[in-house]
Amino acid sequence: MTKNPMRRGGAVAAVATVLSLALAPASFATGGPVPERSVSTTSQDAQPLPTSPAAYELGEELAGLSGKQLEVSFLAAVIPHHRGAVEMAKLERERGTDSGVRHRAENIISGQQHQLDRYTHWLRDWYGLTPQQARDQAPAEVREEMAELDKERRHRLDELRGTPAGKHFDTAFVKRMIPHHSAGIALSLEAQSRAVHHRLREAASTGITVQQTEIEDFRDWLGRHR
């Protein structure tokens, strides 16, 4: 895939700025894995998993779109992303033991399910499309990055499904939800600032704020439960 270096610089800088507020500073210039901020501990259990480079690549691709194409591509990408968060949170509700983490998982289930329902509704009302039809209409580069994110989400879900219930499950869930939320922020930046519909701009902005807060909460929890 050929990248536009001018576009890449702007998109990458925007993502880095927002994620730094969520305690996840990063350097994306090489397109490699994004390093997460380390909690002050030598325990590997206190480290979240890395954020997918595909999330930043997809954010870069969205930065090159506008109008209907931006909205349709964003919605096609964010709906499965939110669905993945809900699936992970339901596993935490079933298998986790920490009351604080389980409470946060319940918030993720209710909040992201509400948002993905609205996104699906808007996609139908504004453009007459299902999520799959929207995905089929997205540019090839966007579809490529979405496919990579789908693959990684399935892998992390499979890892969680293979984790026994108990306190270790809480840790496994938190370590995966932090990069999941970081990816969600990367996907939402362009919609927040440039979506045609003001309701979509507002929803994307709210999603960024909520995910930033939850990243901070989860990082604090990891630091206290190392």
Integer Cα distance of 131 and 117 in angstroms: 11
What pLDDT does residue 109 have? 97
What pLDDT does residue 1 have? 42
What pLDDT does residue 24 have? 40
DSSP one-letter string for the chain: ----HHHHHHHHHHHHHHHHHTT-----TT-SPBPPPPPSSS-GGGSPPPBPHHHHHHHHHHHT--HHHHHHHHHHHHHHHHHHHHHHHHHHHHH---HHHHHHHHHHHHHHHHHHHHHHHHHHHHH---HHHHHHHS-HHHHHHHHHHHHHHHHHHHHHHTSPSSHHHHHHHHHHHHHHHHHHHHHHHHHHHH-SSHHHHHHHHHHHHHHHHHHHHHHHHHHHT-
Contact 184, 112 (CB under 8 A): no
Contacts of 78 (CB under 8 A, 6+ apart): 116, 119, 184, 187, 188, 191, 207
Pick the CATH number of 81-226 from 1.20.1260.10, 1.10.620.20, 3.40.1180.10, 2.40.50.140: 1.20.1260.10
Integer Cα distance of 173 and 171 in angstroms: 5
What pLDDT does residue 225 have? 84
Integer Cα distance of 52 and 152 in angstroms: 8
What pLDDT does residue 64 have? 97
What pLDDT does residue 127 have? 98
Residue 127 has phi, psi (to 5 degrees) of -130, 0
Average pLDDT along the chain, 226 residues, taken 10 residues at a time? 44 49 36 36 68 95 97 97 97 97 97 96 98 97 96 95 95 96 97 97 97 96 87
pTM listed for this prediction: 0.82
